[in-house]
């Protein structure tokens, strides 16, 4: 049976570095341990919080229940053809280390998603994305443990209903499944197709003096992210705190009359995605600090804990920013980070 520890600090387990306690804490490294937890009397009597890499959450207060860290490990090449290679990774694998492993196998498809914090299991929940790519682009299927009956079920791309930083596991199936393994369809060398549509990648490749390959694109993304985003091991953060808002093309045209340098990307004929970081910076928040809660000096989309900020202080700062951006631009910002209050 999985060990149950009491009154455990969660500071080492969340990338924001928030020091709150869990009344009960366990780690599960196998399906058997997960099923044992589901059958345990404690599971039926106290609130439960499932954790992966702790990278997309903000803990606001002590958790008076059972925190369970999913720590299943393993990655494999499942199937090879001339056109594709299917690989799998268990939920507890670190996402970036998994991406590097696929590159070591000379497999293409995940290179633009290098250096995103977190674990494999939580990646499909929010359809992680960066630099013109999203997990849904290479996603094949996942396996999830049904919390009600302990059965392992399979979900394909359609069933996951991926959207912008969204999936069915953040909506109708929230809290109903534990993702245990994810499968991806990647390309062998003869089929590689690199995505350098984001100008920053092309500029970085030019600076590196190298042509675009899956390996150099990954190196470029790592260099860009490292220059703009703080390392959670040095400054507590969860990466992008807010989603990039999607607004009407008509609203963008109106905003451009006042802000001709507005950063916007067309989503469809009628909808446009705005750069949340640009909005926050323009509203005057970049580099702001109050106590140990702040907005990063290089990337306004990232809220940071400079050491001893509480979850409540980070939340309060995020709400001030939301109100300020709405007052300035009439654009609502939605948190990308999962706030656990």
Position 319 scores a pLDDT of 98
> Has 153 been annotated as catalytic?
no
- Looking at the DSSP bridge assignments, the partners of residue 94 are 119
Domain annotation covers residue 217:
no
- Only one residue has tokens 């199937």, namely 79
Q: pLDDT category, 341, cuts 50, 70, 90?
A: confident
Domain annotation covers residue 205:
no
Catalytic residue among 114, 143, 157, 165: 165
**Range of the structural domain that residue 296 is part of:** 236-340
Domain annotation covers residue 178:
yes
The per-residue pLDDT for range 76-113, each reduced to its tens digit, is: 999 999 999 999 999 999 999 999 999 999 999 999 99
Q: What average pLDDT does this structure show over 295-312?
A: 96
Position 306 scores a pLDDT of 97
Q: What is the CATH number of the domain that holds 117?
A: 3.30.465.10
Last residue within a domain, chosen from 50, 70, 90: 70
The per-residue pLDDT for range 219-252, each reduced to its tens digit, is: 999 999 999 899 999 999 999 999 999 999 999 9
The per-residue pLDDT for range 238-289, each reduced to its tens digit, is: 999 999 999 999 999 999 999 999 999 898 999 999 999 999 999 999 999 9
Position 190 scores a pLDDT of 87
Q: What is the CATH number of the domain that holds 32?
A: 3.30.43.10
Domain annotation covers residue 336:
yes
Domain count, the chain: 3
Mean residue pLDDT across the chain: 95
The per-residue pLDDT for range 29-58, each reduced to its tens digit, is: 999 999 999 999 999 999 999 999 999 999
Task: Give 14 or 132, the one with higher predicted confidence.
Answer: 14
User: Are residues 104 and 17 located together in one domain of the fold?
Assistant: no
User: Are residues 328 and 286 located together in one domain of the fold?
Assistant: yes
Q: What average pLDDT does this structure show over 109-129?
A: 95
- Helix runs in 17-74, H state only: 31-39, 41-45
Backbone φ and ψ of 191, nearest 5°: -110, 5
- Looking at the DSSP bridge assignments, the partners of residue 340 are 59
* Distance (Å) of CA 36 to CA 29, 49, 52, 248: 11, 16, 18, 49
Region of poorest pLDDT, from 199-203, 208-212, 273-277, 314-318: 199-203
> Has 104 been annotated as catalytic?
no
Last residue within a domain, chosen from 70, 105, 120: 70
pLDDT at 1 over 70: no
Catalytic residue among 111, 134, 143, 336: 336
Domain annotation covers residue 290:
yes
Q: Kindly report the number of other CB atoms within 10 A of residue 83's CB atom.
A: 10
> Has 240 been annotated as catalytic?
yes
Catalytic residue among 240, 310, 313, 318: 240
Reported in sequence order, the residue ranges of the chain that DSSP labels E, i.e. its strands, are 5-9, 21-28, 48-51, 57-59, 63-70, 75-80, 85-90, 129-130, 133-134, 139-146, 152-156, 177-186, 236-240, 246-248, 264-266, 271-274, 289-290, 293-295, 302-305, 338-340
């Amino acid at each position: 049976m999985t060990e149950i520890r009491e009154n455990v600090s969660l500071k080492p387990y969340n990338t924001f570095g928030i020091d709150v306690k869990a009344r009960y804490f366990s780690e599960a490294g196998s399906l058997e341990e997960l099923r044992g937890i589901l059958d345990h009397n404690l599971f039926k009597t106290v609130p439960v919080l499932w954790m992966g890499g702790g990278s997309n959450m903000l803990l606001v207060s002590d958790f008076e229940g059972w925190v369970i860290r999913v720590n299943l490990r393993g990655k494999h090449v499942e199937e090879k053809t001339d056109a594709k290679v299917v690989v799998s990774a268990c939920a507890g694998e670190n996402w970036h280390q998994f991406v590097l492993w696929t590159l070591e196998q000379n497999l293409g498809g995940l290179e633009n998603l290098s250096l995103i914090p977190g674990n494999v299991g939580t990646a499909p929940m929010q359809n992680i994305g960066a630099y013109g790519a999203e997990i849904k682009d290479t996603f094949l299927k996942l396996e999830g443990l049904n919390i009600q009956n302990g059965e392992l079920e399979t979900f394909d791309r359609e069933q996951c209903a991926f959207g912008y930083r969204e999936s069915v596991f953040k909506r109708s199936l929230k809290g109903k499944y534990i993702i245990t393994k994810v499968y991806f369809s990647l390309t062998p060398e003869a089929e590689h197709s690199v995505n350098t549509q984001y100008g920053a990648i092309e500029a970085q490749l030019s600076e590196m003096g190298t042509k675009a390959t899956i390996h150099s694109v990954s190196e470029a993304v790592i260099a860009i992210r490292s220059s703009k985003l703080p390392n959670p091991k040095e400054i507590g953060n969860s990466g992008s705190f807010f989603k990039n808002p999607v607004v009407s093309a008509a609203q963008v045209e109106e905003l451009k009359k006042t802000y001709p340098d507005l950063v916007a990307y067309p989503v469809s004929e009628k909808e446009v995605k705005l750069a949340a970081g640009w909005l926050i910076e323009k509203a005057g928040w970049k580099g702001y600090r109050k106590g140990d809660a702040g907005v990063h000096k290089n990337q306004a989309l990232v809220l940071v804990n400079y050491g001893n900020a509480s979850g409540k202080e980070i939340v309060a700062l995020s709400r001030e920013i939301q109100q300020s951006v709405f007052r300035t631009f009439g654009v609502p910002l939605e948190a990308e980070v999962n706030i656990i209050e």
